[in-house]
Amino acid sequence: MKTVLFKISALFTAAVVWLSTLFGGGFGKVTPITEKNSNIPILHAGIFQGGFKSSGSTVIDKYICIRAKDYEKYTALLEKSGYTLYDSRKIENNSFSTYTNDKYALNLSFYPHTGIMRIAVEEKGTMCLLSDPCDKVCDTLLTGMKGETVVAEEGMGFIIRLNDGSFCIIDGGMGDPDGVDADKLMNILLEQKPENVEKPVIASWIFTHLHGDHIGVFNCFSLKHHADVEIERLIYNFPKEEETAASDSPYMLDDTIYRYTQFKKNLAEFYPDVPVLKVHTGNRFEVRNAHFDVLFTLEDLYPLSILNGGMNESSLLLKMTVDGQTTLWTGDFGFNSAKTVLKEFSSETLSSDILQLAHHGINGTVKLYSAIDPTYCLLPVWEGGLDKMLEKEQNKWLVNSPKVKQFIVTANGTWTIHLPYEPAEGKYVRIPSDDYVNPSYPVLLGE
């Protein structure tokens, strides 16, 4: 009886998705890529729910009513067809695997509790670094950079100094014509790099999503300081330009310094040989002593897209682990994204020691934050916006959580902490408290 009900429910869901694709937000692709490309084995299982073309060469096929044995049969078929397993793992009961041949990379994700399976097919390019060994020469630091630009009251830029003295940057912030924030970032890199290193090494520059207050500093930095650093890798998964043009953020394609147009010019002119890693949910990668798990990309939303919830819905969800301590990077994580990830993962996966509040404190939900249940909160909010953000329901939940020890707020100024982070008593203000005005910190937290 349960099997019959499951199939009826799946058929109903497929009909709803087909109508959604037809009337509002579809991607115009109704034939599985596995049937259009003879080099990719056909999945003979479940119900094809739809497909879409993502950015670059990536095409996503989504199926429902998939069982564990269907997933296993398909992976066996890939190997029989000449594909090589690059990585395979489980997160909770969900299965993820990456297969490659000389031309293609296939990223498979399977969620047995919903019967959903996605196949991301793309031309083989830069692959995730599953190991990135290094010699420790210094402590790991995390810096939150306060933007000085007056172009926007927003922005997010975090700099991680890894234990070999190289760096991993998360976004950067909104750039400005005078390059003030670009210089500020450069000075942080120079101050924190090992003395015997001539040029700071950026092992990975990660972009959570496409908005100008997240890629703008990279643009300005590239124009001014591209020759002053060595960048080893760029990591992101942006929407295709047709969706961007039809979304709430078409301005990202104009020709000002903070936009995607300039971003692409920078890649072509200054970093033509720097590998670009396009990540998918279930991927994992190492950046020196930092381990990253990809828990969400825009491809998980199908049949919804940035046309339904805006560009913020394309934000990556990354869980970083450094010496056993976890940090959840949310970018500007959207509300549709939050609903989706809560269906795919439980608190077992989402719980993190440190949480970067979504969209400068604007987004996020009580349900999502209660699953994450952090001890420390990073709030990249603009000066004067803190009190407004703390009045939002999801942030009130964090303020009143007995587990949360500290909010670390970028509006108060640029700050640096050690990772793993565990401040000594008296080095932070407990929230809430009688003497609370604004979250406070020393120049170097935890010292």
Q: Is residue 128 part of a domain?
A: no
Q: Is residue 133 part of a domain?
A: no
Q: Is residue 368 part of a domain?
A: yes
Q: Helices marked H in 82-174 — which ranges?
A: none
Q: For the segment 9-57, what is each residue's pLDDT rounded down to a tens digit?
A: 445 544 544 444 443 334 444 578 877 888 899 999 999 999 889 999 9
Q: Is residue 167 part of a domain?
A: yes
Same domain, 220 and 273: yes
Same domain, 269 and 398: yes
CA pair distance 358, 379, nearest whole angstrom? 8
Bridge-based pairing of strands 47-53 and 59-64 is antiparallel
Same domain, 303 and 345: yes
Q: For the segment 240-282, what is each residue's pLDDT rounded down to a tens digit?
A: 999 999 999 999 999 999 999 999 999 999 999 999 999 999 9
pLDDT of 366 higher than 90:
yes
Question: Of the candidates 153, 224, 156, which has an alpha carbon nearest to the alpha carbon of residue 187?
Answer: 224
Same domain, 165 and 114: no
pLDDT of 375 higher than 90:
yes
pLDDT band at 224 (very low <50, low <70, confident <90, very high): very high
Q: Is residue 392 part of a domain?
A: yes
**Last residue of one domain, picked from the residues 56, 89, 123:** 123
Q: Quickly tell me which residue has 């890894």 as its tokens.
A: 162
Same domain, 93 and 213: no
pTM: 0.91
CA pair distance 219, 198, nearest whole angstrom? 23
List C-alpha distances in Å: 424 to 3, 180, 324, 444, 447: 55, 33, 19, 12, 8
Q: Is residue 104 part of a domain?
A: yes
Same domain, 343 and 423: yes
Q: For the segment 71-93, what is each residue's pLDDT rounded down to a tens digit?
A: 999 999 999 999 999 999 999 99
Average pLDDT for the chain: 88
Percent of the chain topping pLDDT 90: 75
Same domain, 98 and 157: no
Q: Is residue 393 part of a domain?
A: yes
pLDDT band at 152 (very low <50, low <70, confident <90, very high): low
Same domain, 115 and 158: no
Task: Give the per-residue pLDDT at 129.
Answer: 98
Same domain, 277 and 302: yes
pLDDT band at 94 (very low <50, low <70, confident <90, very high): very high
Task: Give the per-residue pLDDT at 440.
Answer: 38
> What's the CATH number where 318 sits?
3.60.15.10
Q: How many residues does the chain have?
A: 447
Q: What is the mean pLDDT of residues 311-324?
A: 98
SS3 content of the chain, % helix, strand, coil (to 5): 30, 25, 45
CA pair distance 170, 128, nearest whole angstrom? 17
The CA R_g of the chain, rounded to the nearest whole Å, is 22
Q: Is residue 130 part of a domain?
A: no
**Last residue of one domain, picked from the residues 123, 151, 171:** 123
Same domain, 287 and 188: yes
Task: Give the per-residue pLDDT at 386.
Answer: 77
For residues 145, 147, 148 and 150, what is the CA-based torsion angle, rounded to 10 degrees? -170
Q: Tally the domains of the chain.
A: 2
Which residue range forms the structural domain that includes residue 112?
2-123
**Last residue of one domain, picked from the residues 91, 123, 155:** 123
Same domain, 75 and 193: no
Same domain, 112 and 164: no
